Amino acid sequence: MSEGKRIMTLIGREQAVVGKTFRLYSIPDECRRCRLFNICVAKLKPGRVYRIVEVRHVGLPQPDKCLLTGEDMVPVVVEELPIIAPIPINSFIEGITITYTRPRVDCDELRRYIPSDQVLKDGVKVRLLREVGRVRCKDGNYVIAEVLPLD
């Protein structure tokens, strides 16, 4: 599997464990007002899943505290994990980069694999990592794929 984009961010000390994953559902107003916003969640995308790949212990005598949780914040390096999305079978070649277009089909089996606009928007370039399944609909055939957004 291809390695995802790596990003330096901050996380609460209790959550700072290599291998732990988390999803950023939204960015609260408290975060936007925080002086650490740009080095904390500003580079993360709501709806995406991240895995902690490195914890950096800075050794500050007084670590910064999160305005939302009150926890001591620790710098970590996270990796964005792939998203599962349907790709038309005639567009799928493992390893290539394409512009994602949301399927406009009336197929219940396919609909459950279509990511929300918050997670993956139309027009975003994605790298096709690997096939995880296939779905046949009356409107066409699709590969269910792991994709990595390049936004």
Model confidence pLDDT, tens digit, residues 77-113: 999 999 999 999 999 999 999 999 998 887 888 989 9
Report whether 9 contacts 68 (CB < 8 A).
no
* This prediction's pTM: 0.83
The neighbour count for residue 46, using CB atoms within 10 Å, is 13
Q: Residue 33 is which amino acid?
A: R
Tell me the β-bridge partners of 98.
126
Q: pLDDT digit of tens for each residue in the chain (151 aa)?
A: 456 789 999 999 899 999 999 999 999 999 999 999 999 999 999 999 999 999 987 776 667 888 888 999 999 999 999 999 999 999 999 999 999 999 888 788 898 999 988 899 999 999 999 999 999 998 889 999 999 999 8
Q: How far apart are CA 49 and CA 7, in angstroms?
A: 12
DSSP state of 61: S
C-alpha torsion angle, residues 39, 45, 47, 52 (rounded to 10): -50
